[in-house]
Amino acid sequence: MKSYEDLNGLELDTIREMGSIGMGNAATALSSMLGCEVRIDLPEVRIMGYNEAIDWIGGPEVITAGVLVHMSGELNGIMLSVQQMEFVNLVLERMIGQTVENYEELTELDSSALVEVGNIMISTFINALCNLADISTRLTVPAFGVDMQGAILAVPMAEFGGQSDYIMTIGANFICGGREVPSRLLLSPDIRSLNFLLKKLGVLDG
């Protein structure tokens, strides 16, 4: 397989199942961090073009926070947690006891809390994926930034756009204390890693 466009129905279904399992594990980890039961609705896992993914998370000019982690080893690529304001304030309210009106109000302590939550969600998601496929990968220290969503998505586009114009998107609503907030994770393994992963899961010959 040379690109995401080559994925067949079985391979896409397998990726969707992986995304659902990973998101469920991320919700469990979030429960411990926020001190409340976190449930998720049915996750939506899709393969999208970069521009479509940007529109899916709200549009290129919308300001958002992002936590970015690089993967290396048997699984190479990038994973990004997109933290929109509803999610930001859920985290800050539960962990720090305050909320913000906009991203400019974020303090160093606020940013640290958001990085910690984003990193735990990504790490838990990737660990679930690796356990499922019996593979290993290393994760870098997370990077945090606040910018327009188009600029944030420019990072995986720059690194992997030469291999494919597509990215894996995982979306779900987290429900905590009767409050429902959207969560968006974007996963971009390189094509070699995607082939290796699908082979390990027994859905790709070779």
Mean predicted confidence (pLDDT) in 95-105: 94
Per-residue pLDDT at 161? 59
Decide if 136 is inside a domain.
Answer: yes
Decide if 168 is inside a domain.
Answer: yes
Give the range of the structural domain holding residue 127, as residue numbers without chain letter.
4-200
Give the HSE-up count for residue 27: Cα atoms under 13 Å, Cβ half-sphere.
Answer: 25
Decide if 206 is inside a domain.
Answer: no
Q: What percent of the chain has pLDDT over 70?
A: 95
Domain at 190, CATH number: 3.40.1550.10
Query: For residue range 43-69, what is the model confidence (pLDDT) as tens digits?
Result: 888 888 888 888 888 888 989 999 999
Residue 151: burial class (beta carbons within 10 Å; 0-12, 13-18, 19+): middle
Sorted by sequence, the CB contacts under 8 Å of residue 55 that are 6+ apart come out as none
User: Which pTM value belongs to this model?
Assistant: 0.89
Pairing outcome for strands 63-73 and 137-139: antiparallel
Decide if 89 is inside a domain.
Answer: yes
Higher-confidence residue of 9 and 98: namely 98
Decide if 205 is inside a domain.
Answer: no
Looking at the 3D structure of the chain, how many domains does it have? 1
Question: Could you tell me the sign of the dihedral formed by the alpha carbons of 106, 84, 190, 166, in that order?
Answer: negative
